[in-house]
Copies of this chain bind each other. A is one copy, B any other.
């Protein structure tokens, strides 16, 4: 296990932060929506796609990224955003639709933009992949060594934009890493019902680039694979395609009846929870004491709580402000 201690600690603390963030969001999102679930009600209206269980993907990759590296994320973006270092208070305010939000309440949970750390996401499946290619192109043309990472779901690997982007990235040997989060479903459709190959990293060969699969929702294994990919990209060695097996603990979106999977499935998945595994490993390896771990956990919780508090106290935008920001002046 070659993850340096400081990185592993960062990964652990960040995973805790993500998990707590998503669990707090389950509650915040639920406020005002019941007894009869009403998607448009409460302090956090609209669709809500949470990433509990998928933390390893975000931290395993983002552990190698700098603020000047770009990340594009899909409709399920919180874990990537947190791991990339997005301003958590403003992100949360955005999700609450408030004036202090990253987008002044105009974007919402699926449309978070933090140019400070070069993070963006969006609601259209696979649409962020070409943006990452463009960011990598800019980096190259500007003579920088920044890289760009596009995260997508396994369902997105069947969209045309995926193919076009990978070909372009490979053709121009751009510093792009496409990370496929295989959480086994695209909404209700299991991977074998959407994808003609069992695993997507084989698709790298269609572009003459390296493709790697990381099994078992394992942040440490991913850390190593991502290291190689990021290093190669920074050196000018071109793109890499990575598929990571991961676990979606919650519904596709909050309110998903999940008629398409057995309730036991998630119980089973939770048994290999990476957060607990990393914690135990760190203790076993003597990398961190129980106190240190608790301090990290405490810190993570606090940051999250502060973000929610910030979001809640921020004012709602005035209606008329909807008319601003269509065009830059």
Contacts and interface: CB of A to CB of B under 8 A. Distances in A.
Q: Select the residue from A162, A202, A203, A206 with max chain B CB neighbours within 10 A.
A: A206
Interface residues of A, number: 23
Interface string A193-216: 111110000110111110000000
Contacts of A311: none
Contacts of A193: 171
Contacts of A206: 197, 202-203, 205-206
A159 interface: yes
Which DSSP category, helix, strand, loop or mixed, fits chain A's interface? Answer: helix
A140 interface: no
A28 interface: no
A51 to B, nearest CB: 25
Contacts of A39: none
A196 to B, nearest CB: 4
Contacts of A158: 163-164, 167
Contacts of A197: 170, 205-208
A161 interface: yes
A195 B169 CA distance: 10
A11 to B, nearest CB: 31
Interface string A208-250: 1100000000000000000000000000000000000000000
Contact of A170 (B161, B162, B196, B207): B196
Interface in A88-136: none
Contacts of A207: 196-197
Contact of A208 (B163, B164, B196, B209): B196
Nearest to A198: B208
Interface of A: 158-164, 166-167, 170-171, 193-197, 202-203, 205-209
Given A160-B164, A197-B208, 9 more contacts: A158-B163, A158-B164, A159-B160, A171-B195, A196-B207, A196-B208, A197-B206, A197-B207, A202-B206
14 contacts: A158-B164, A159-B160, A160-B164, A163-B164, A167-B195, A170-B197, A171-B194, A171-B196, A196-B208, A196-B209, A197-B207, A205-B205, A205-B206, A206-B206
